[in-house]
Structure 1
Amino acid sequence: MDALFERWAACNADKRARNTIKRYRASFRSLAAFASQRDARSLSADDLFEWAEKRRDVEGVSPRAINKNDLVAVSSVFQWACGRSGRQVLTRNPARGLSLDEPRVVGQRERTFREQEIIAILKAASAVQQDHAHPTRSAVRRWCPWLAAYSGARIAELTSLFREDIRIECGALVMDLRVTKAGEPRTVPLHKHLLEQGFLEFVEASGSGPLFYDLKRHKANAETSPAEQQAKAVAKWVRETVHLDPGVDPNHGWRHTFKTRALGAGIEERLRDAITGHRVASVGRRYETPSLSMLSGAIERFPRYEISTSTATQQH
């Protein structure tokens, strides 16, 4: 099974996002360990269901995560192995249609940050002082929450930024998000409030290369990229620093918050989707590519975060 997966990974290296291959590899390793390295052709649907139950009952993985991650990964690789690209080494896909029953989950709260959480996180970020011994650690804490607040970008997209990704186009300061979940780069204008805080000066003072991690401090070819490590580190820092409600994600909460505030500001859906990198809902919408000037106008209308008062007052 290890050999089968590595063949799939090599074939899909230019078709699947790096994070997708990483997640699939973890699922396949778990299955291979459970099956004691049996030949993939010998596995039945019963074997896979037993593995899924072990993941749930022994390892404590939620049924939803098993269905969404583990079984999707295994089914995808096995389906590929049934086709010509996979040399038809399998005659059937035993994972097809397989799933665990998922208990009904009742949300404890909304996924957007509440006003006091917005204030606490952004105040904490603004209070970060440069750490000359660990400059990228202080930089990621100082700027990534603010960048996420004004773009709705995923934190790992932001921690992947290079100095060269911050540039001026058509008179607007923009950031090129090259490493994205969907593997589709996008360009997002920067809010003027970021410039007022000195973000451009920070960028200009940085050396060429990554803004938020130091390659010298990370192992080459590590399974978890430096950007992902920094994203996890900033999430841990936010949660611990502001004692964030466990019901909201310290990083992903900004995506929900940005889109909610953008909606309140009257920014239309296709512009909100283009800025955050969400896939459009219809074929017709795929023919519409908002221009940079349209995106810049949307960012200009996005409400400014005011954290000096008792509430995060929205000002245009």
Structure 2
Amino acid sequence: MSFDELFEQWREQHLLSGGAPTTPPYWETLIQRFVAYLGHSDPARVSTQDVRNYRDHLIKSGRLLRTARHSDLAALRSIFRFGIEQGLLPIADPTSGVRFRSSRLVTSRKMMAFSDDEARTLLRAADLEDKPSRRWIPWLTALTGSRISTIVNLRHEDVVKIDDVWCIRISRQAGPIKTAASERIVPIHPLILERGFIDFVHSTGRDRLFINKDARRFILDGKTTTSSIPAPYNPGRTTRNRLTEWIHSLGLDIGRSSGKDPNHAWRHWFKEKAFEVGIPEKITDAIVGHAQASISRRYGAVSVPVMFDELKKIPDPLSH
């Protein structure tokens, strides 16, 4: 049995058991990367030493420890355990006991917010862009406290009017979200509306606002080619990565090494501004999709008009 055959059986069971449909395309890329490293496609020949060597290869290649632990090795571990449990592989689990011992790639630095100067630089650059992802995602993430990875998956139908207030709907139907609390309705800040966001939504001719779901390209070891592989790559992830590259190109000292991951720094910036202007914590939690820590704040949903009135307190990032 080849890795491809094993993976297809795992994929079928994963989907039948209600697993996330976005996981198989991503994990297939990780499995193929492992196969390319091995130089063969026979899972029964894989030893624990092979997996250890691959772990060391990931570390030396500069992949962050958390990424490698939760993605590359998690995929391998699940596939091998599935094959063994189903009687498809006559071997002991080669991933058993393989851990990341070194902490040299782990950063203890807390993720921080963009500074006001960084926020201004990014949003001014966004205002000069025509490409939808660059034009709108920075503003949407800044003024909703959402992750880039969430906003990038927005669909045409996720822009809705509720109680005469334009909102975005964030749901697992659009793409992966972190927790149940992440599903929410968020009013759109007037600064975004003034820039013509609704006109953009109405003018776009595709279901997804920022990604092309018809694209079928495959990324492996840094090379992008037209794919003949059945599972497509994750187009949302690619759009997010390209947007992050553009943000880095603006010459700011940002990134995980500086404690300012673009996927999270807007989120922290929004929470700081919400605190500064006195938005109640319960309403901030509702906007950013945080589970409320205090039991006394868990009861009673926040209405859209109330959220919108509070959201309007966030000042124009370009004017201060």
TM-score class normalised by the smaller sequence: 0.7 to 0.9
Report Cα offsets for 1:191-219 as digits up to 9, x if no partner. 23322333223323334533234567x34
| Corresponding residue number in structure 1 for 2:96 | 96
Alpha-carbon distance in structure 2 between the residues aligned to 1:289 and 1:73 = 39
| Corresponding residue number in structure 1 for 2:197 | 199
- After TM superposition, the runs of 4+ consecutive aligned structure 1 residues lying more than 6 A away are 279-282
Letter of the aligned partner of 1:30 in structure 2? R
Given the superposition, is the C-alpha separation of residues 34 and 219 from structure 1 closer, same or farther in structure 2, using an over 3 Å criterion?
Answer: closer
| Corresponding residue number in structure 1 for 2:33 | 30
| Corresponding residue number in structure 2 for 1:111 | 112
SS in structure 2 of the partner of residue 187 of structure 1? strand
Given the superposition, is the C-alpha separation of residues 90 and 114 from structure 1 closer, same or farther in structure 2, using an over 3 Å criterion?
Answer: farther
Residues 117, 244 of structure 1: 8 Å contact kept: no
Q: Which of 118, 140, 145 is the aligned partner of 1:152?
A: 145
Report Cα offsets for 1:250-297 as digits up to 9, x if no partner. 343212322343455555666545544456779x89xx586361x653
List runs of 5+ in structure 2 lacking aligned partners. 218-229
- Does 2:317 match 1:307? yes
SS in structure 2 of the partner of residue 173 of structure 1? strand
Residues 174, 187 of structure 1: 8 Å contact kept: yes
Alpha-carbon distance in structure 2 between the residues aligned to 1:212 and 1:38 = 36
Q: Which of 71, 74, 93 is the aligned partner of 1:72?
A: 74
**Structure 1 length as normaliser, TM-score?**
0.75
- Does 2:128 match 1:127? yes
- How far residue 113 of structure 1 moved from its aligned partner, in angstroms, is 0.4
- Does 2:250 match 1:241? yes
Report Cα offsets for 1:94-121 as digits up to 9, x if no partner. 3234212232545567521011101111
Alpha-carbon distance in structure 1 between the residues aligned to 2:249 and 2:140 = 20
Letter of the aligned partner of 2:121 in structure 1? A
Aligned 1:128-277 pairs, distance under 5 A: 128=129, 130=130, 137=131, 139-177=132-170, 178-182=174-178, 185-207=183-205, 209-213=207-211, 218-219=215-216, 223-241=232-250, 243-246=252-255, 247=258, 248-265=260-277, 272-277=284-289
Residues 17, 183 of structure 1: 8 Å contact kept: no
Calculate the aligned-residue CA RMSD, in Å.
3.6
Residues 28, 231 of structure 2: 8 Å contact kept: no
Given the superposition, is the C-alpha separation of residues 108 and 37 from structure 1 closer, same or farther in structure 2, using an over 3 Å criterion?
Answer: same
Residues 64, 102 of structure 1: 8 Å contact kept: no
Letter of the aligned partner of 2:123 in structure 1? L
Alpha-carbon distance in structure 2 between the residues aligned to 1:168 and 1:43 = 54
SS in structure 1 of the partner of residue 169 of structure 2? strand
Residues 124, 242 of structure 1: 8 Å contact kept: no
Report Cα offsets for 1:109-166 as digits up to 9, x if no partner. 75210111011111222233x4xxxxxx2x2222111111112223243232232221
Q: Report how many aligned residue pairs link the two structures.
A: 295
Percent of counterpart pairs with the same letter?
A: 26
List runs of 5+ in structure 1 lacking aligned partners. 131-136, 312-316
SS in structure 2 of the partner of residue 304 of structure 1? coil
Report Cα offsets for 1:22-56 as digits up to 9, x if no partner. 33223322332344436434434333212212332
Residues 136, 197 of structure 2: 8 Å contact kept: yes
Letter of the aligned partner of 1:24 in structure 2? W
195-204 or 104-113, which deviates more: 104-113
**Structure 2 length as normaliser, TM-score?**
0.74
Report Cα offsets for 1:214-237 as digits up to 9, x if no partner. 567x34878334433332232222
